[in-house]
Amino acid sequence: MTNFNLRPYKNITPKLGKHAYIDASAVLIGAISLGDDCSVWPLVGIRGDVNHITIGARTNIQDGSILHVTRKSNKYPSGYPLIIGEDVTVGHKVMLHGCTLGNRILVGMGAIVMDGAIIGDDIIIGAGSLVPPNKKLCSGFLYVGNPVKQKRALTADEHAFLQQTASNYVQLKNDYLDGIEDKQ
């Protein structure tokens, strides 16, 4: 069993899919659901307290990233949960707040995706980019900048890379899990 840090909020504890890896220095609080083969790396904070967070299968959340939600209000009766699809790679020090990400996405290091943003499938968001509130990104493109702008269509190699990088992180987390099991 992995030595990870799961904390309840109002008696709701994070739920982990099969073969998920949570680094011992990561903190997950409240209404969080991780799919099978997900990985959460060192110093990540995921807080599902005032809304819920769903993370799809084979998604990896890399070192120092922060994931949070927006509470329900009169203006936003459902608030903004955080929904992340399958095979998503969230780079180091990314901030995701109350947004929706599709499948096969790379969010580059230090990027920020804000409340109500909807990110389609098969997208690369460049390092350091800012996706403003309620922005919609169409599938199949590279987006860069602050605020983010559509740069160009993804190449065939980039489409393949999105799936490959998610697969690489599944293998890496398996290596970590094997190392933990070997020590027990």
Tens digits of residue pLDDT in 117-135: 999 999 999 999 999 999 9
Taking the domain 5-183, which CATH number applies? 2.160.10.10
| Residue found by looking up tokens 């920020």 in the block | 112
| Residue found by looking up tokens 């997208």 in the block | 123
Does the pLDDT value for residue 1 go beyond 50? no
Q: Domain residue spans in the chain?
A: 5-183
**Bond preceding residue 147 cis, omega within 30 of 0:** yes
- Do 50 and 64 touch, CB atoms closer than 8 A? no
pTM of this structure: 0.94
Does the pLDDT value for residue 11 go beyond 80? yes
Residue 183: strand, helix, or coil: helix
Question: What does the buried/exposed string (b/e) look like for 26-54 if buried means 16 or more CB atoms within 10 Å of the residue's CB?
Answer: bbbbbbbebbebbbbbeebbbbbbbbbbb
